[in-house]
Amino acid sequence: MKIMKHIINYIGTLLAVVLISTTFTACSDKDDAGSANVGLGIKSFFPLKVVTNQPMTINGSGFDAASEIEFPGGVKVSNFEVVSDGMIRVDAPSGIAAEGGKLIVRSANAEAESNMSLTVGHTNVSGFDKQAGESILGGENLTVFGADLEFIKSVELLDAEGNIMLIDQQDFYRKGTNRLVIQIPVKNIYRGSFVGNLYTYDGQKIPLPELAYQPGGGHFEMKEFIIWEGNFRADWGTGQPIPYAKFAAIDGFGVGDLVRVYVSFDDDGGQLQFLTGSWNNDQDFPDLNLADGKTIKPADLTDGYFEVTVTEKNYPVFTSGDMWGGPNCIMFQGNNKYTLTKVVALHEVWISDDSGPVADIVKTIWDTETVFDGWSASILIGPEQFADLQEGDLIRIYIKDKGDDYNPIFKHAEDWSNWDELQSIKKDGDGYFESTVTAAVIEELQTKGLRFQGLGFTITKVDLTMYGRPADGDDGITSETTVFETETVFDGWSATIVVDPTNFAKAKVGNTVRVYIKDKGDDYNPIFKHVSDWGNWDEFQGSKKDADGYFEAPIPDGALDELQKDGLRFQGLGFTITKVTILP
């Protein structure tokens, strides 16, 4: 089964506490030095504990005029980002006093000091749930134990080709202060033993135990590829060439694979030479690893064949035939007491599990635009939306109109206190905030639902992504399928129809959407439309055929996700739609 690919960073106990503090501060009438309405002031900042280069956010007021931030120990910073009058982003500098202290923000004419104190952390790893020498499969989790683990920003592994692969902290399965969980990529992981590394914001490089990694979701199996098959018998004056191109055509063929040659001899006097194609003995194949290094004799056979391992040195012979200037083939020759019957290559291939196809299912569980302009605003998403929920699924809340007092809060459905286990990272630059579902909250979501509260933003919709669910075992759209059959006259630009997104659940890139029409007028102008935008959906514009009773367009890669989430709308002028179908 496919394992979750794009799991977002789960904030552990430390950041949850910080965010709770932020909420209580936002609800309080008491601010730090200064007020949001009267000038420079610090309301809150997070995280409360940092290391060098740790990204921080400071919330307050009057920041448009800020020119300097002073950290504990007298460390002053002028290189920071003023996001708005009420928000600053800054990376924690080096040299912060070990004992910590207050933050100070200065402008030309004022300064504000925080009520909260900043402390300094240091990542220490105490152990792992896997020990050196053990095996780990792709898709399994590796757990790290220690202190201040929230400052680990990436993990270094090797991909399937042996190249360095960095997994960002946003893709960790779970991230907390004392426990960090990393999910090993299912297939794109090197098969073999190596030492990975953890990297922290302040530059520490912490080695992982040397584990034996192997891709998950299936297994490797040695497969036999026939290169040549026949019945060749010859004396020293003739030879049997073997086309090298058949080796090169094997996907992934390379060092470590085997070339197996099936041969039989009449008696002990039989001899066979394995050549690069030249009749000169100087060109004899050098890597047979046999006693005489040049000729094959009956005693050299195992079960009727001999094998050659592909090495860095002999690889060009099999794939280009151009080693030491030889012709473009490998060749066998010998006396007339042997028969060559078959040459094969043995190469490992990936065999997937028989668990069936899987898919990442995205469904909208709230689509009523809701303004959060006061603490009394709230929405409740019922427990029925979480019936099939699993650990690692993702809740994403799309927002707009973010104000200076922006403070979104996940809420327990029966309690106004923060739901600590599911508190979000308050992303503010990408149009949403989100959180990964943990095992601890599944039962509550499935019995009580989920509520949101907050201040200074508008929720437009809430999506739930369910990773790695079993998909339909069929081949998708196998015949022309009708998805709309209500005759609709398009005699003005206000006319429109919407095809529901559920009709595209089995659609694939390359399937064709066909729109049957009649009564085409001189002003005929059919338009494919995005369901949430009156502008043309350019990547899916129809071909406007007018001779065969329909117009149509193939589904491009860039449109499939939108079709399956938002559906499809038509608009236009001078025609009547009779039905809409999808073709394979």
Bigger pLDDT: 324 vs 512: 512
Token pair of 118, please? 């900043």
Write down the pLDDT at residue 326: 42
Which 3 state secondary structure label does DSSP give 283?
A: helix
What percent of the chain clears pLDDT 90, i.e. is strictly above it?
18
The whole-angstrom separation of Cα 214 and Cα 445 is: 35
Q: How many CB atoms lie within 10 A of CB 98?
A: 9
Compute the average pLDDT of residues 448-467. Answer: 84
Write down the pLDDT at residue 91: 93
With 90 as the cut, is the pLDDT of residue 294 above it?
Answer: no
Question: Given this chain, do its domains 124-217 and 221-352 carry the same CATH topology?
Answer: no
Q: Does domain 358-470 have CATH number 2.60.120?
A: yes
Write down the pLDDT at residue 89: 93
pLDDT for 303-330, tens place per residue?
A: 788 787 887 777 776 776 543 334 444 5
Q: Residue type at 6?
A: H
Write down the pLDDT at residue 102: 94
Q: How confident is the model at residue 171 (pLDDT cuts 50, 70, 90)?
A: confident
Asked if residues 412 and 419 have their Cβ atoms less than 8 Å apart, the reply is yes
Write down the pLDDT at residue 402: 83
With 60 as the cut, is the pLDDT of residue 25 above it?
Answer: no
Q: How confident is the model at residue 61 (pLDDT cuts 50, 70, 90)?
A: very high
Least confident of 72-81, 202-211, 233-242, 451-460: 233-242
Bigger pLDDT: 443 vs 87: 87
pLDDT for 65-122, tens place per residue?
A: 999 999 999 999 999 999 989 899 999 999 999 899 999 999 999 999 998 899 999 9
Q: How confident is the model at residue 427 (pLDDT cuts 50, 70, 90)?
A: low
Least confident of 6-15, 101-110, 278-287, 377-386: 6-15
With 90 as the cut, is the pLDDT of residue 198 above it?
Answer: yes
Least confident of 362-371, 374-383, 561-570: 561-570
Write down the pLDDT at residue 273: 64
Domain at 31-120: CATH architecture = Sandwich (2.60)
Token pair of 58, please? 């400071």
Residues paired with residue 435 on neighbouring β-strands, in sequence order: 395
Compute the average pLDDT of residues 9-33. Answer: 36
Write down the pLDDT at residue 545: 55
pLDDT for 383-397, tens place per residue?
A: 888 888 887 788 888
Write down the pLDDT at residue 240: 65
With 70 as the cut, is the pLDDT of residue 284 above it?
Answer: no
Q: How confident is the model at residue 21 (pLDDT cuts 50, 70, 90)?
A: very low
Least confident of 284-288, 309-313, 463-467: 284-288
Write down the pLDDT at residue 68: 95
The whole-angstrom separation of Cα 36 and Cα 33 is: 10
Assigned fold of 124-217: Immunoglobulin-like (2.60.40)
Output the average pLDDT for the chain.
75
What percent of the chain clears pLDDT 70, i.e. is strictly above it?
69
Token pair of 443, please? 């039962």
pLDDT for 524-534, tens place per residue?
A: 777 766 555 54
Q: How confident is the model at residue 278 (pLDDT cuts 50, 70, 90)?
A: very low
Which 3 state secondary structure label does DSSP give 317?
A: helix
Asked if residues 381 and 430 have their Cβ atoms less than 8 Å apart, the reply is no
Q: What angle do CA 321, 325, 328 make, to 5 degrees?
A: 30
CATH number of 481-583: 2.60.120
Least confident of 440-444, 454-458, 538-542, 579-583: 538-542
Asked if residues 239 and 163 have their Cβ atoms less than 8 Å apart, the reply is no
The whole-angstrom separation of Cα 508 and Cα 484 is: 18
Write down the pLDDT at residue 418: 57
Q: How confident is the model at residue 506 (pLDDT cuts 50, 70, 90)?
A: confident
Q: How many CB atoms lie within 10 A of CB 33?
A: 18
Query: If you average pLDDT over each of 3-12, 99-108, 270-279, 461-470, which comes out highest?
Result: 99-108
What is the DSSP pairing of strand 379-381 with strand 450-455?
A: antiparallel
Write down the pLDDT at residue 94: 92
Q: How confident is the model at residue 124 (pLDDT cuts 50, 70, 90)?
A: very high
Query: If you average pLDDT over each of 9-13, 151-155, 558-562, which comes out highest?
Result: 151-155
Asked if residues 15 and 150 have their Cβ atoms less than 8 Å apart, the reply is yes
Token pair of 582, please? 């999808």
Ordered by start, the domain boundaries in the chain are 31-120, 124-217, 221-352, 358-470, 481-583
The whole-angstrom separation of Cα 87 and Cα 46 is: 11
Write down the pLDDT at residue 90: 94
CATH number of 221-352: 2.60.120
The whole-angstrom separation of Cα 200 and Cα 298 is: 61
Cis omega (within 30 of 0) for bond into 47: yes
Write down the pLDDT at residue 417: 59
The whole-angstrom separation of Cα 203 and Cα 66 is: 29
With 90 as the cut, is the pLDDT of residue 208 above it?
Answer: yes
Write down the pLDDT at residue 241: 66
Provide long-range contacts, Cβ within 8 A and 24+ apart, for 291-295.
Answer: 295/271, 295/334
Q: Residue type at 458?
A: T
Q: Which residues lie below 8 Å from residue 533, measured CB to CB, with a gap of 6+?
A: none
How many Cα neighbours within 13 Å face the side chain of 259? 26
pLDDT for 41-50, tens place per residue?
A: 998 888 888 9
477 — phi, psi (to 5°)? -75, 115
